[in-house]
Structure 1
Amino acid sequence: MTDNEIGRRGHAGWLAGVAGLAAVGSLAGVTVARSLTRRVTDDDPYAGEDFELLDADRSSVVTTTDGVPLAVREVGPTDAPVTVVFAHGFCLRMGAFHFQRARLSEQWGDQVRMVFYDQRGHGQSGAAPPDTYTVTQLGQDLEAVLAVVAPRGPVVLVGHSMGGMTVLSHARQYPQSYPTRVVGAAIISSAAEGVARSPLGEILKNPALEAVRFTARYAPGAVHRTRGLARAVIAPILRAASYGDEKISPSVVAFSEKMMHGTPIVTLVEFLHALEVHDEAAALPTLAKIPTLIACGDRDLLTPVESSREMAAALPKSELVVVPGAGHLVQLEQPEVIDDALVRLVERATPSKLVALTRRLRERVRPRG
């Protein structure tokens, strides 16, 4: 198929996709723009915040089994009693855990090492063949990270959105690591299955996205011609769904949009397809062996609160945290709630000696009311 034929197919898909936008209803078009406008405020507590804090941390590169370099950052001593590994979500990068890195590194001190990495095709990690952009592969990438940075000692996994699906995928593929190696897990703004039932499912049906995906796979040289098609479909939805509160910091909004805009178009369309076919419900019996945190915002339009409730119901050692007024990026919108929940998770998941130490440290750090 020639580039001209690819272009014609992409244009036809785009025209059909425009019509398909009507199915998304109030999430699309002018309504989205107005909604986004309402969700910023002149009061910006994070004006001047250094959102690139992670770039100054210890860095390394982990190479996956199929040769993809993953950018890794870590804070805390390598011999800390427990390691907490963070996996970010779709169209983001490790900086999505900025507030967790900033506060928890002070709170935990030398008792916990935190490890962050960019998923394949995101941030500073390498691109990969499009057919490897699957949730199954992400679980294998997480195992590669653990093998290099945390081969021994207890590990707690934290995943947001697609990162939560990464944790589920890892649990399904490596059940022998639970609870011998992985002693706790947090699934934030995610779902074990059924993403197609959410408003995101309507987006996934848009023919424009399939046209761009076809181009990315079979005529990568022409993908720049369809770059705007996919972004026009998905970007307004992601922006509108990111936050639920009308008083969200403009600096936080700008930071999250910068991450989204920096995601390559091939990564965007391929992982959208991966989310469409995602089903990691088979991982739940494995996660049921360990303490878990299930957290979400009650205004999350991409992975609605029902998905979190379903997972929590299947996990007898889980704590369910529903954050009022928060959207999909709950760890950026209401970081204190998520930070506190992660502290409780690590206390539940680790030996009693560490629990006592982290509790005393928390009480010393937290301001007295």
Structure 2
Amino acid sequence: MSRLMKAAGVPLVATRELTAVSADGSRLHVEVYGPEGAPALVLAHGWTCSTLFWSAQIRELAGAGEYRVVVYDQRGHGRSPAAGPDGYSTGALADDLEAVLAAALAPGERAVLAGHSMGGMTIMAAAGRPGFREHAAAVLLCSTGSSRLVAESLVLPMRAGRLRTRMTRAVLGARAPLGPVTALSKAILKYATMGPGASPERVAECARIVHACPRAARVAWSHVLGELDLSSGVRELTVPTAVVAGTADRLTPPVLAREIAAALPDSLGLTELTGVGHMTPVEAPETVTAKLRELVNAYVVVPASVGEAEKEQAV
């Protein structure tokens, strides 16, 4: 039984669960939902999250058997084991995505790739890789940035400058355990990562996911994000790419999304969601799912074998 079914209470079980092995030997937990041969999407979650973060998209896109959705736990998150001390870097993110694509997709098969926050950074880090170019048909970037994440963060209500940057870095990299989910911790999480109109149910959903992230992985990845510069990766992202951002995002404010959309070689534009925070796939699931559906319908070709089978059934 999959974690998605147990956590979200929906009658949907992974078609396949597999392990992808990255370049350094790190093992990544991968889940595939929906029928084999259906048009594919590969979804990469963000910092402190897991495959559970994409529950709404899996239910809508794979639940009716229309699409095949691949999700995986980033190293150190969910059911993917932690890496060694030197195993956290943007290069590792790119290696891991290439490994997942090779394990879950057929050679030459193209899919829509989507990433939220660090998942979007994963896609930018991998944009120039052969495995990415083999499999990426189009991309959706949700609530992400390519550089200056700490300097632009609005988590602390202070004037921009060195002091705010230094204090933000300390907060995001804090080693203190998050502890159990409480009313106070949910209020803090909502302020830092979600819009003011986020429902209590969606706040609680995000809190359960974030608090489950192991402290060591949370701290290790915070150091990587604090020094991030993927500007070259944006320029190498040559497939059609759409960007989504919340206007109330404190972690990766819309200014970062605007910069990405302006620098993309094949930009499909930026959608700014009024009043939505950082957790766009959970806060605005209908909009994110609609964008994914639009991209897969426009840019992913159903394999010939599937089309031939449909013709045979019609005869």
Do both proteins adopt the same fold according to a TM-score greater than 0.5, normalized to the shorter chain? Answer: yes
Q: What residue in structure 2 maps to residue 189 of structure 1?
A: 143
Secondary structure of the 1:130 match is coil
Change (3 A) 1:203 1:89: farther
Counterpart AA for 2:105: A
Q: Check conservation: 2:61, 2:68, Cα contact below 8 A.
A: no
Verify: 1:241 aligned to 2:192, yes or no. Answer: yes
Alpha-carbon shift at residue 193 of structure 1 (Å)? 1.3
Q: What residue in structure 2 maps to residue 91 of structure 1?
A: 48
Verify: 1:281 aligned to 2:239, yes or no. Answer: no
- Match of residue 68, structure 2, among 113, 117, 121: 113
Q: What residue in structure 2 maps to residue 149 of structure 1?
A: 104
After superposition, the CA RMSD in angstroms is 2.9
Deviations 1:244-270 (A, max 9, x none): 133x23222112111111111111111
Q: What residue in structure 1 maps to residue 58 of structure 2?
A: 101
| TM-score, structure 1 as length reference | 0.70
Cα distance in 2 for residues equivalent to 1:273 and 1:55: 36
Q: What residue in structure 1 maps to residue 119 of structure 2?
A: 163
Alpha-carbon shift at residue 182 of structure 1 (Å)? 1.1
Cα distance in 2 for residues equivalent to 1:164 and 1:129: 23
Secondary structure of the 2:99 match is helix
Change (3 A) 1:329 1:208: closer
Q: What residue in structure 2 maps to residue 76 of structure 1?
A: 34
Once the two structures are superposed, the pairs formed by residues 1-369 of structure 1 within 5 Å of their partners are 51=8, 53=10, 56-57=13-14, 58-80=16-38, 82-106=39-63, 109-110=65-66, 112-152=67-107, 153-172=109-128, 174=129, 177-178=132-133, 180-199=134-153, 201-206=165-170, 209=173, 212=175, 227=177, 238-246=189-197, 248-287=198-237, 289-315=238-264, 316-351=266-301
Identity value in percent: 31
Cα distance in 2 for residues equivalent to 1:240 and 1:268: 19
Compare CA radii of gyration and give the structure with the larger one: 1
Greater helix fraction, Structure 1 or Structure 2? 1
Counterpart AA for 2:191: A
Change (3 A) 1:182 1:50: same
Residue correspondences, number: 283
Deviations 1:218-263 (A, max 9, x none): xxxxxxxx5469x9xx9976442221133x2322211211111111
Q: Check conservation: 1:159, 1:186, Cα contact below 8 A.
A: yes
Counterpart AA for 2:82: A
